[in-house]
């Protein structure tokens, strides 16, 4: 990095504490400063182009130069730059967006509540589940179960639901009443003689055992991503969701589908819940809701929940929850335009089509000496690096080789993301087959450089 004291890089190191960054390493390494974007590419401050094969943070589904979103934001800013939803107030974009999201819902849903981030959406889901269970006279039914390797955000409750060690260590998390059940990664956790279906049965049994051990009358909800994203792109085994939902029904446990990554086309359908046959009571969405051009998230709740919540708000005088920016008109207008563009350009079907091409392209790396598993669905995938193909032994420490590969990919003009030694791919939904070919070529070069280094 430039060490000139007034360079933009030096000022970044001097003034900014970066999320998900080794702060000490950053003092030497400095930032990669992105100045602009076009289509699926972004450009750094020296003009170098990168294919953004992670769509930023699994999120800029329309790429980096969708003028329609800029125009809508500009128009809405001039008309009504801010209004809120407290105390019976509303603005038109929020109403129209709610209506449109509900019309797209994979199962009948009744109401939309807006927040600003995936974390806040998931915190809201937890709070409304607690509120609902109090409303219906089940005050003991409060515990939330999520899964090891699940990712639900970083606020106190959502980080408690997240099942990754870095989100808990030294943060004194998880807080009480947040439990984690098994991670449904068949390739990694399946036993030698266990079929995929038997593994799914065991996952459901683990969940049932946990519910019984804790007492079913204490378990309020199960939250899960249809496909785990930040945990390493883990696609559930066949029959997993059927079996899990049977257990949830048996013990009257609500299902919260965290669609923050899967929502809006990522798996080739509007929602991951459709792809995997999930019937959630609550759905959280963010990221692709606005193609991440502005921060907005939402949860949808079923009518059953709404009725209990409405009763309690009447009893208490108000629903004592809401953010200043819930339903922000500019964010809502941009989100509404995003959803219109998805429909006009049939982008979910496009994602299914080019997603198949990406998965087929990545599967050519299965036999590479560094690769343990290639997995994915639609336009989300991961390649997991391992030290020993036969024993599936990891590199030690996990993440060192993944980070090395990540840096080589950056040199090649490709932005991917290593979660430990799992390398994720989650490009904008607008990506073309040609652009996927470029991703594959650049990834191959980075992988081979990594092999040379490991040897
Ligand atoms: N849920 C899932 C599945 C996510 O992938 C993320 C973020 O990556 C979140 C929740 C948290 O969203 P945010 O970072 O907007 O708080």
Instruction: Choose one of 286, 295, 382 to mutate for the ligand 1 pocket test, by most ligand atoms within 8 angstroms of C-beta.
Output: 286
Q: Is 229 in the pocket of ligand 1 (CB under 6 A)?
A: yes
Total length of the chain: 455
Measured distance CA(143)–CA(417) in Å, rounded:
33
What is the DSSP pairing of strand 219-224 with strand 178-181?
Answer: unpaired
pLDDT at 355: 98
Would you say 362 and 440 are in contact if contact means Cβ atoms under 8 Å apart? yes
Block means of pLDDT (10 residues each) for the chain, 455 residues, are 81 97 96 98 98 98 98 98 98 98 98 98 98 98 98 98 97 98 98 97 98 98 98 97 98 98 98 98 98 98 98 97 98 99 98 98 98 98 97 96 98 97 98 98 98 95
- DSSP-derived secondary structure for 113-182: EEESSHHHHHHHHHHHHHHHHHHTT-TT--EEEEETT----SSHHHHHH---GGGTTTTT-SPTTEEEE-
Q: Is 118 in the pocket of ligand 1 (CB under 6 A)?
A: yes
| SS3 call for 299 | strand
The alpha carbon of 119 and the centre of ligand 1 are apart by a number of angstroms equal to 6
pLDDT at 5: 77
pLDDT at 1: 65
Instruction: Choose one of 287, 382, 426 to mutate for the ligand 1 pocket test, by most ligand atoms within 8 angstroms of C-beta.
Output: 287
Q: Is 329 in the pocket of ligand 1 (CB under 6 A)?
A: no
pLDDT at 4: 76
Q: Is 258 in the pocket of ligand 1 (CB under 6 A)?
A: yes
Kindly give the interhelix angle for 240-250 and 196-214, rounded to the nearest 10 degrees: 20
The alpha carbon of 375 and the centre of ligand 1 are apart by a number of angstroms equal to 21
pLDDT at 3: 65
The model's pTM is: 0.98
Atom of ligand 1 nearest to the CA of 259: 3
The alpha carbon of 297 and the centre of ligand 1 are apart by a number of angstroms equal to 10
What ipTM describes this predicted complex?
1.00
List the alpha helices (DSSP H) in 215-346: 240-250, 272-276, 303-316, 329-344
């Amino acid at each position: 990095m430039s060490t000139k004291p007034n360079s933009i890089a030096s000022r970044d190191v001097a003034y900014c504490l970066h999320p998900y960054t080794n702060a000490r390493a950053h003092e030497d390494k400095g930032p990669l400063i992105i100045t602009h974007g076009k289509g699926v590419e972004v450009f750094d401050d020296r003009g170098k182009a990168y294919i953004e094969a992670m769509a930023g943070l699994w999120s800029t589904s329309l790429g980096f130069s969708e003028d329609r979103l800029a125009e809508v934001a500009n128009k809405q800013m001039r008309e009504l730059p801010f209004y809120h939803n407290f105390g019976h107030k509303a603005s038109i974009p929020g109403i129209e967006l709610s209506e449109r999201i509900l019309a797209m819902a994979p199962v009948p849903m009744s109401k939309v509540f807006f927040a600003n981030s995936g974390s806040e959406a998931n915190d809201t889901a937890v709070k409304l589940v607690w509120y609902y269970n109090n409303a219906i006279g089940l005050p003991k039914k409060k515990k939330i179960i999520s899964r090891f390797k699940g990712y639900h955000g970083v606020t106190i409750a959502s980080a408690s639901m997240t099942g990754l060690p870095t989100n808990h260590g030294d943060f004194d998390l998880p807080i009480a009443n947040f439990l984690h059940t098994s991670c449904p990664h068949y390739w990694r956790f399946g036993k030698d003689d266990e079929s995929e279906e038997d593994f799914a049965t065991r996952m459901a049994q683990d969940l049932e055992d946990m519910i019984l051990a804790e007492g079913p009358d204490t378990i309020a909800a199960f939250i899960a991503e249809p496909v785990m994203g930040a945990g390493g792109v883990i696609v559930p085994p066949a029959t997993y969701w059927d079996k899990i939902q049977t257990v949830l029904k048996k013990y009257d446990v609500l299902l919260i589908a965290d669609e923050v990554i899967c929502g809006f086309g990522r798996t080739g359908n509007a929602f991951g819940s459709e792809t995997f046959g999930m019937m959630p009571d609550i759905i959280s969405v963010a990221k692709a809701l606005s193609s991440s051009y502005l921060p907005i998230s939402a949860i949808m709740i079923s009518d059953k929940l709404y009725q209990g919540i409405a009763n309690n708000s009447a009893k208490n005088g108000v629903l004592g929850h809401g953010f200043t920016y819930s339903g922000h008109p500019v964010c809502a207008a941009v989100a509404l335009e995003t959803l219109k563009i998805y429909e006009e350009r049939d982008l979910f079907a496009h994602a299914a089509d080019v997603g198949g091409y990406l998965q087929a392209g990545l599967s050519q790396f299965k036999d590479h000496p560094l690769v343990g598993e290639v997995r994915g669905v639609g336009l989300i995938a991961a390649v997991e690096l391992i030290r020993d193909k036969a024993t599936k032994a990891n590199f030690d420490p996990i993440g060192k080789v993944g980070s090395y590969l990540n840096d080589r990919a950056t040199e090649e003009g490709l932005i991917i993301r290593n979660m430990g030694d799992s390398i994720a791919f989650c490009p904008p939904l607008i990506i073309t087959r040609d652009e996927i070919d470029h991703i594959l070529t650049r990834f191959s070069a980075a992988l081979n450089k990594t092999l040379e280094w490991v040897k």
